[in-house]
Amino acid sequence: MNGTNSQGQRAARAISPWPLCIFRKGEDRPRKAKVVSCRLDRPCGMLWEEREYERKRGIGMAEFVLELNGITKTFPGVKALDNVHFRLKPGEIHALMGENGAGKSTFIKIITGVYRPDEGDMLVNGRKVELKGPRHAAELGIAAIYQHVTCYPDLTVTENIFMGHERVEKGTRRLLWKEMHEEAQRLLDELGADFHSRMTMGALSVAQQQIVEIAKALSANARIIIMDEPTAALTVRECEQLYAITERLRAGGASIIFISHRFEDMYRLADNVTVFRDGKYIGTWGVHDISNKDLIVAMVGREVTQLFPKKETQIGDEVLRVEGLGATGYFADINFSVRRGEIVGLTGLVGSGRSEVCQAIFGIGPRDRGKIYVEGREASIRRPADAMALGIGYLPEDRQKQGLILNWEIAGNITLPALRRLARMGWIRRKAEWSVAKMLAEKLGVKAAGIFDLVGSLSGGNQQKVVVAKLLTSELKVLILDEPTKGVDVGAKSAIYEIIGELAAQGYGILLVSSEMPEVIGLSDRIVVMREGRITAILDRSEATQETILEAAMDDSTRETGASA
């Protein structure tokens, strides 16, 4: 980037903290100043001349780029935040952790101007501000990147990046498309993207869409970036790419609030961690100054003595077996079995074909060869009703789209598969329905005011418990659980693990699909590893480690150890 820019050339953008730019004489506030040269060749989050202007005037030199004191926010009947505090230093990655319902989402919406606090102060670069809305927050350099990317799928990457702050020719309304495409592509290249700015957003993966969101934040000169569960839907390699991008943003002077339920994210990236619980501020620690055990206690308010409780279970006869299962373009030569009381983990990188195998067994995914046996008898499964009639239940990965009706009450969701049994003469016996729903909700520990609360109002962990309760209304032998703890906090995970262990103890055969290796290792009796649609290893629990699983998930070789599949 060294060199002299021509008179009409727009100044470039970059992520370096305080670039030493040389300006033409006579420029006071160099909004339109022409950069003559810069000693740095790394990109930064704002215009070079803006950085220099702020450096000369001491702006951005406060001890904290963001500070919130005594923030309180109340909704009808609920105090979402109660006198919470938070401080973010320049160039810091600060993890924000807590159970679902701890107040993290409300807190982020206050920082981004969606909500206004009832009490408390917010300071940006040492100056007190009262945000008038999201646009005001964006003008102050605050941007948020959410787990569920909000984009326009039919528009190009460039259009998504510059939505709301388009480049327009002075004196006209003509959009400067060439300039925007070039700028968008430059930002993507700097972030290590492997796609073009003229592609449509709908053609991109979740990880690629998140890169676009980061580029959008940089194009708007964001200095404070909030990442909300960014790794939840990413593969291992995509997580590594995101880690690298986040480190580059930090090196360039950006300050980042990183929200995650994954401890590995925190230890990999964060400098400090703040914990909220029940809307209250619990504390802030350096990530290396607090143990996992103490952090969990801070988050849930109690000691989780054993995250993966494994009850002594009598493993019985084979209840499910698949032989030579295949679907062209998805998976091939799948062979494994599940016995009564056994938990079989099915793992591999995202895209390895795990979910597709489960969907084929349940009758909602393609299958063009192979056989399925239930209790030793060959089964014909063409649709979910066939699978359920044979005693196979399925908990989908996307609980909100595939497992629940969000605008229905808890009772209606739980009893949906059992309405035929709960009906008499074509009429549903409401008292019987409510009795079943209440019994299962209490058994699984669903936290709600009552069974008539809408499912959409529940936390992720409680929604997942409702899906499990829904399965238990049917007479099942096999439970297929696809990512049962995805997007839930550590307290809810512990409760779900306890439920899975109890179900195995009751004699259910469980096929557990998960991307989290500690979860698979901690719960499973045997582990089936897949790569690119094929099984590469079958491991006993005693010999399974993160290293052996990763090796099998990323290596071409196929091996089988321990018990037979």
Cα dist. 90→71, 113, 158, 224, 427 in Å?
21, 21, 29, 9, 64
In this predicted model, which residue has the larger pLDDT, 317 or 546? 317
Reported as a single tens digit per residue, the pLDDT across 515-540 is 888 889 889 999 999 988 999 999 99
Quote the pLDDT of residue 81: 93
pLDDT tens digits for 355-382? 899 999 999 989 999 999 999 999 999 9
At residue 274, the 3 state secondary structure works out as strand
Q: Which residues pair with 17 in a beta bridge?
A: none
- The amino acid sitting at 448 is A
The answer to whether 334 and 535 have CB atoms below 8 angstroms apart is yes
**420 contacts: CB under 8 Å, gap ≥ 6:** none
Ranges of H-type helices in 58-150: 104-111, 134-139
Give long-range contacts, CB 8 A cutoff, 24+ apart: 430-433: none
- CA neighbours closer than 13 Å in the CB half-sphere of residue 382: 1
Alpha helices in 252-364, H assignment, sequence order: 263-269, 292-300, 354-362
User: Nearest-CA neighbor of 320 among 334, 338, 344?
Assistant: 338
Same domain assignment for residues 198 and 313:
no
pLDDT recorded at residue 486 = 78
- What was the pLDDT predicted at 274? 95
Is residue 40 domain-resident? no
Pairing mode, if any, of strands 331-339 and 318-327? antiparallel
Flag whether 117 is in a domain: yes
For residue 77, is it within any domain?
yes
| The amino acid at 451 | I
Report residue 15 as tokens. Answer: 């992520």
Instruction: Provide the pLDDT confidence category of residue 310 given band limits of 50, 70 and 90.
Output: low
Lowest mean pLDDT among 75-84, 104-113, 386-395, 418-427: 418-427
Q: Which of residues 1 and 262 earns the better pLDDT score?
A: 262
Domain end call among 301, 328, 362: 301
Please answer whether residues 247 and 271 qualify as being in contact, where contact means their C-beta atoms are separated by less than 8 angstroms. no
C-beta of residue 388 within 8 angstroms of C-beta of residue 417: yes
- Domain identity same for 86 and 225: yes
Structural domain includes residue 59: no
Read off the CATH number of the domain in which 408 is found: 3.40.50.300
**Rounded to an integer, what distance in angstroms lies between the CA atom of residue 86 and that of residue 66?**
8
Q: Whole-angstrom Cα distance, residue 25 to residue 319?
A: 81
Beta bridge partners of 277: 280
On the question of pLDDT at 92 being above 90, the answer is yes
Q: Are residues 293 and 343 in the same domain?
A: no
- Where a domain ends, among 273, 301, 329? 301
Q: Indicate whether 13 pLDDT > 50.
A: no
What pLDDT is attached to residue 377?
93
Q: What is the mean pLDDT of residues 102-122?
A: 92
pLDDT at position 43 over 80: no
Average pLDDT for 473-501: 84
**Are residues 491 and 392 both part of a single domain?**
yes
Query: CA angle, corner 420, sides to 416 and 421, nearest 5?
Result: 100
Q: How far is CA 317 from CA 118, 372, 500, in A?
A: 60, 16, 19
Residues 364 and 265 placed together within one structural domain of the fold: no
C-alpha–C-alpha distance, residues 516 and 421, integer Å: 37
445 with 500, same domain? Answer: yes
**8 A C-beta contact, residue 487 and residue 146:** no
Q: Does residue 198 sit in the same domain as residue 294?
A: yes
Each residue of 403-424: pLDDT tens digit? 888 889 999 899 888 878 877 8
Q: What percent of the chain has pLDDT over 70?
A: 85
Find the domain containing 382 and state its range: 307-553
Looking at the structure, do residues 139 and 213 belong to the same domain, yes or no?
yes
Least confident span in 17-31, 224-238, 349-363: 17-31
User: What six digits make up the tokens of 230?
Assistant: 């960014």
Residue ranges of the alpha helices (H) in 445-533? Answer: 460-472, 490-505, 517-523
Same domain, 347 and 239: no
Answer yes or no: is 112 within a domain: yes
Residue 221 and residue 287 in one domain: yes
The whole-angstrom separation of Cα 259 and Cα 108 is 10
* Burial (CB count <10 Å: 0-12, 13-18, 19+), residue 480: buried
In-domain check, residue 339: yes
Average pLDDT for residues 499-525, to the nearest whole number? 89
Number of domains in the chain: 2
- Mode of pairing for the β-strands spanning 377-379 and 427-428: unpaired
CA angle 307, 243, 523 (to 5 degrees): 20
In a domain, 276, yes or no: yes
> Rounded to whole angstroms, how far apart are CA atoms 226 and 213?
11
Same domain, 426 and 388: yes
Q: Which of 278, 301, 324 is the last residue of a domain?
A: 301
Question: Cα angle at 65 between 59 and 69, to 5 degrees?
Answer: 125
| pLDDT level of residue 343 (50, 70, 90 thresholds) | very high
